[in-house]
Structure formats: C-alpha cells, structure tokens
C-alpha cells in the first residue's frame, strides 16, 4: 500500500514506519520534529517536515494514498494539565485537519495511536487468587487528564467519521509502550517514562530513582503497570492495516495482560545492567492508580495478534542496549 504516517519520526511511529517499509509498503512520513528525530525515518521513506495541521499539503486528492497511520500528538501528561490549549489544538485540531484531508482524498483506511490511560483505573481490582482484573474495551472510560481526554475525543471523532463517510478506522489503545528495536528507542525530553528513567540512573545520568509510594494495595506496595514491547505494538499495526473494514471503527487494547510493579522493573534493570540503581521513596503522587492491566483478548481474537516479547527482562534489555548506543 501507499501509506502516510504522521508522527513517523517519533518513538512508536518510527518503529512502525520501519516495520511498514520492511513489509514492502510505500511510506511517506509527516513530522514537525518538535519531539521526533529525522534520523528515525528509514531509508526508502519519503519525509516532509510539516505540522500535522499542514498535512493536506501532502495528502492531496491526486496523491493516491491507500491509508494513514496517525501518531502525531503531544503526549506528556503533566504538560497537558498545564497547557490544555496546546493539547486540544495539536491532538484534536490537528486530527480534524487530517480527517478533512482524508475525506477530500478519499483515503479508505486509518489507524490511530490511542491510549489505555483513558480508562477508569477504579475498574481494576485485586483478584482473590492474586493478580488484578483486566481492562477490556468495554471498561469504564474516565480520562484523568487533558492528554487522555484528547485521545478519547479523537476516538469519538473517528466513530462518527466512519458512520457518516464510510471510512474504515482502528484505534489502538496502548498501555505502557517500552523497549527498543535496534537504534529506535525512547528519546523524550524531558523523560517521564519509568523504564528509560531507571536506565538513566543505571548509567549515571541521574543519582537516584524516585519511587512515589510503597503503600499501594499491590504485592510489594508499588504501582503495577502493563508494559508492552514497542516491536509488538508495531506488529499490531500491520495486522490492523489488513483487518480494517469500510464504515467500521474498531477499538483494540494492546498490552501484555500481565502487570509489573515499579520494584519489579527496578529489579529487572539491576539484573540487566549490573548497576545498583539507588532508590529514594517519596509520597504517592495524586491520581496515580494502584494498578492498570490490559485485556488484549479482542486483538488476539480478531487480529491474530500475540506479543512476541512479553518478558519484562527482554523489554528492559532491549531498552538498555539502545540507551547505551546513544549514550
């Protein structure tokens, strides 16, 4: 297919773009490089440095695109609370501009990079035999911040777009994307994700790791999250691309289905890196849920998707290899 990837110079978008090129698709990337990196774009992909609002300059009626994969967005939760205007403008306004171009060009399919953070974490409860209940696509939705609210808004926009105009769309709600694929890994600035922060401590870029709360109702008292390898996310996008149906909007959760605590991530990083990783305990942060774990049964059943690298140690090891390569 001839595909347009917005945000294809970012972390997840970059990994997916490489996978699309490797699968033989013709790929064009649009990214403003506000958080992405030009060296992420693979050889063989066409690149345009544009804001997502300007995507119509590339996605024209005569361009012949068969599909769009939409990653371009602002993603920092704290920033979204401080600058909601920015997040509504880019994440929602930018998507509105994209959808206008999609309609004008008659593009039949679209995949959206959504988030599992829009679910109400109170739906997750401890199970009598151990572990936690899992969030499926029918779980209660309750965005806790502007970032999650904008992602939900786009999901709702896509549902209407499919019903009114016959677009085929899939929203993939990721849980905690982690790991790396070769030279493609997390390079956020500032970094707010646990795995790369732990590795920054291991490499001496930070003195210690702040652990916010050790009194949660979890086995070791620290928060539990569902970590999914970025390579497995990429596979889901390729499968979803083939499964899209005209006039239908489908939503799929993507996670391992297993939760790992903050302490388990630290222990895995200590094992992988051989460094002690000093820890400093701090009070809980307001709004942090005790546990969020995904049910990806629908993706497994309908897309034939199965995580190939679900082990926490593998996720951390791949991220560490990338971290060492970029210093």
Q: Tell me what pLDDT residue 245 has.
A: 97
Q: What is the DSSP letter of 140?
A: P
CATH second-level architecture of 2-326?
3-Layer(aba) Sandwich (3.40)
Count H helices, E strands: the chain? 10, 14
In Å, what is the CA distance from 300 to each residue of 124, 228, 254?
A: 21, 14, 9
Q: Tell me what pLDDT residue 47 has.
A: 98
Residue 2 has pLDDT above 70, yes or no: yes
User: Which among 316, 306, 313, 196 has a CA at the least distance from the CA of 257?
Assistant: 306
Q: Tell me what pLDDT residue 327 has.
A: 65
Q: Tell me what pLDDT residue 176 has.
A: 94
Kindly state the average pLDDT of the residues 13-22: 98
User: For the ranges 127-141, 203-217, 238-252, which has the lowest average pLDDT?
Assistant: 127-141
Per-residue pLDDT tens digits for 47-89: 999 999 999 999 999 999 999 999 999 999 989 999 999 999 9
Q: 245-284: buried (b, 16+ CB within 10 Å) or exposed (e) per residue?
A: eeeebbbbbbbbbbbbbbbbbbbbbeebbeeebebeeeee
Q: CA torsion angle for 269, 234, 192, 144 (degrees, to 10)?
A: -120
Kindly state the average pLDDT of the residues 30-55: 96
Q: Tell me what pLDDT residue 163 has.
A: 97
Active site residues: 147
13 or 327: whose pLDDT is higher? 13
Q: What are phi and psi of 111, to 5 degrees?
A: -115, 130
Per-residue pLDDT tens digits for 219-239: 999 999 999 999 999 999 999
Per-residue pLDDT tens digits for 116-137: 999 998 888 777 777 788 999 9
Instruction: Give the number of residues written for the chain.
Output: 327
């Amino acid at each position: 297919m001839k595909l347009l990837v917005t945000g294809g110079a970012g972390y997840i978008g970059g990994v997916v773009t490489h996978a699309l090129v490797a699968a033989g698709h013709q790929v064009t990337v649009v990214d403003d490089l506000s958080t992405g990196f030009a060296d992420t774009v693979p050889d063989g992909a066409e690149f345009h440095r544009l804001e997502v609002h300007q995507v119509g300059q590339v996605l024209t009626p005569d361009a012949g695109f068969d599909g769009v994969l939409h990653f371009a967005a602002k993603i920092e939760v704290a920033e979204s609370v401080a600058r909601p205007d920015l997040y509504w403008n880019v994440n929602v306004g930018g998507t509105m501009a994209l959808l206008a171009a999609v309609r004008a060009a008659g593009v039949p399919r679209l995949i959206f990079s959504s988030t599992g953070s829009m679910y109400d974490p109170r739906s997750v409860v401890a199970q009598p035999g151990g572990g936690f209940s899992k969030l499926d696509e029918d779980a209660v939705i309750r965005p806790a911040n502007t970032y999650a609210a904008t992602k939900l808004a786009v999901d709702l926009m896509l549902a209407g777009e499919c019903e009114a105009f016959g677009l085929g769309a899939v929203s993939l709600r990721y849980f905690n994307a982690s790991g790396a694929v070769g030279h493609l890994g997390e390079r956020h600035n500032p970094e707010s994700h646990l795995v790369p922060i732990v590795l920054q401590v291991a490499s001496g870029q930070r003195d210690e790791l702040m652990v916010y709360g050790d009194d949660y109702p979890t086995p070791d008292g620290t928060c539990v999250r569902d970590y999914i390898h970025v390579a497995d996310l990429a596979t889901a996008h390729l499968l979803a691309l083939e499964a899209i149906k005209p006039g239908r909007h489908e939503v799929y959760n993507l996670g391992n289905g297993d939760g790992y605590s903050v302490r388990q991530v630290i222990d895995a990083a200590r094992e992988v890196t051989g460094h002690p990783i000093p820890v400093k305990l701090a009070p809980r942060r307001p709004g942090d849920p005790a546990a969020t774990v995904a049910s990806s049964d629908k993706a497994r059943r309908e897309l034939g998707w199965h995580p190939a690298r679900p082990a926490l140690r593998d996720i951390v090891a791949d991220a560490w290899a990338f971290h060492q390569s970029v210093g």
